[in-house]
Chains A and B, each alone.
Chain A
């Protein structure tokens, strides 16, 4: 077991080149020790140029969002005024409370629904995709290449194509298995427990980079295939698993069409679907509240990304998007 630990630690370093151990390469600021004087002067200005360019890009990305935030603090009248107010006056944080407390909108209930579904989907996608990816990456069996190709091709099937047949299928299962599917969350999360093509692809690429000597060592120590998977491969794959989980989370958090088709009662809605209920057919869309609600929907994802962005980027990088 000692050999195994050492090898695992080595592999971990190789697989996840964390910024602490090896600084990220950069097209803009490689730093060879003996640079000519002219280069050195250019280097002093370079960070400023980069900051300026980044500020311009960020302004472009941010302005629409800032408008959204600013609108979410306005009164309805001011939200629709032209020319637009930049800084809300009066400043109405009350909009957020209104969204949370609105009897008709069930915002917290929808948030809970979204979270429950997201948790189930993220857990299911990550675990099942990892198992399947291990099969594709590490075990040889007839038809592996073809099946892998088929799996990749399923990424290209547009949802509307299968939507209706799936709906009938879920109803059929409700009628014939005694477990009701329609009108429950099941159609939204159960399929996630059978792997998602994109995640399987990413994880397979990652698993291929883990040295086979590790598995062999484990095998000699008496591990079975499942043991190798759970005790060797999974612990080494944290960055890749994080990425898969985050992608899965973002996908399910903003999914609109699925909940629209399968959920039937407002008490079951998710946030992405519930936002639609702000629009009104005959006038009086509460723009300020719609924007406040949108900010609330975005905020958790934003914080997650901010906290995890480096691990996220590293994780994708180590999965090696090399086709």
Chain B
């Protein structure tokens, strides 16, 4: 027994010592004589690799010419790391944050304004689609450019529509097209929902919490807003916002709270072949263009109805789309006066305050925003483009054959970026929680929103007081408000 113990001990300790003595060491050869630009990015996995291609290309071309070397670091919890490093005065030169970080960070003067550098590189309002360009600004300054964007549309199961044609027709609906208004979407959803004899939901036409990422933005499709930029007052109790959350509660009411919760519990993890959309449990959902990548990875059979991938890619887009069991359309809105409503989200490239190589950092940011580079990256990531125009090639050869729909939506006058409220992250969490309450059939939207309004308005007033004190300005309209009006 004793011998075995010593052998086991040796088995642990000897390799450990060997590893310490002879193991690989962190060594990195940086090209001499070049300015090293530190770039922290949130991606891991394939996205990280794809961005690395872009970084390598930059280092080999523009970087070499201008004496710049981008050192690319991928890390989890990017916003926390950037925040702590910036606060301590040792930030990276470029940080790949989320769009929702821009305004809160900018309001704390933690980001470098980029408008002069952008202008020098010929990047201006005409470069981007408007929703994206606006969301990169705060208080009249440009604080970020985009690495890759996203845009939200209606993803629907075209094949299931065909298979349920009789049910849809019986409900007076056209199985050959997606719904065009939100009221219609509700009717489609009801007609497509299947229950068993005991009332258990087997399949739901639509289910607000699958995947539920955009629940806090639902008011956009109701033509509402969560704040009045001019007065700086939150408007969470606005009838349109209330209607939006009540709409979510409506699904639980119609399915029955018990049945709805049981159904939700049975949905597989998003990133798995048991994903609700992929197994036909949910037939319509809010999604971005990247979903084509997921489906291709997890259930390739859903997008190879006619041809293998390489054959498909040789065909025109209209034909390519027949290869797919799913399709994409603008997510319908509740109000007839607004159509093509969408939430335009993106991954931001920012230069944190105190970065040592702002100018060189911007060289790389500008490089990513070159039309050819941006299109290459967005195709790799399976996303749309933030740039005002895209090439024919991009539309025809994109891995998502519906990229044209996404592109048009992104250019719509009703595409809206993340609300430019300095305390948006708090509001986002609160609205997420209210969305979950509604879906659990707990309480009513008006009460929950009124409660949130009180709490969050106090927090916002507090923030604005502080900011006013700091900037030494009088008056009730804070800098935050002016930024949003711009």
Contacts and interface: CB of A to CB of B under 8 A. Distances in A.
Do A and B touch (CB < 8 Å)? yes
Contact of B26 (A119, A170, A267, A280): A267
B298 A283 contact: yes
Contacts of B16: 115, 300
A265 B73 contact: yes
Interface stretch (B80-88, B126-134, B446-454): B80-88
Contact of A104 (B5, B49, B271): B49
A155 interface: no
A167 interface: yes
B45 interface: yes
Contact of B48 (A82, A104, A106, A170): A104
A18 to B, nearest CB: 13
Contacts of A300: 12, 16
Contacts of A268: 26
B337 interface: no
Contacts of A77: 273
A280 B12 contact: no
B47 A279 contact: no
Interface in B18-56: 19-20, 23-28, 42-49
B26 A283 contact: no
Nearest to B83: A164
Nearest to B72: A266
Given A164-B87, A267-B28, A284-B46, A303 B12 contact: yes
B77 interface: yes
Interface residues of B, number: 47
A109 B5 contact: no
B88 A171 contact: yes
Interface in A278-293: 278-286
Contacts of A109: 23-26
Given A81-B273, A171-B89, A307-B8, A281 B24 contact: no
B297 interface: yes
Interface of A: 77, 80-82, 104, 106, 108-109, 111-113, 115-116, 119, 163-164, 167-168, 170-171, 182, 260-261, 264-268, 273, 276-286, 300, 303-304, 306-308
5 contacts: A108-B19, A260-B80, A281-B43, A285-B45, A307-B8
Interface of B: 5, 8-9, 11-12, 16, 19-20, 23-28, 42-49, 73-77, 80-81, 84-85, 87-90, 268, 271-274, 290, 293-294, 297-298, 381-382
What 9 A-B pairs have minimum CB-CB distances, sorted nearest first?
A280-B45, A267-B26, A112-B23, A283-B294, A276-B76, A171-B88, A109-B24, A277-B44, A307-B8
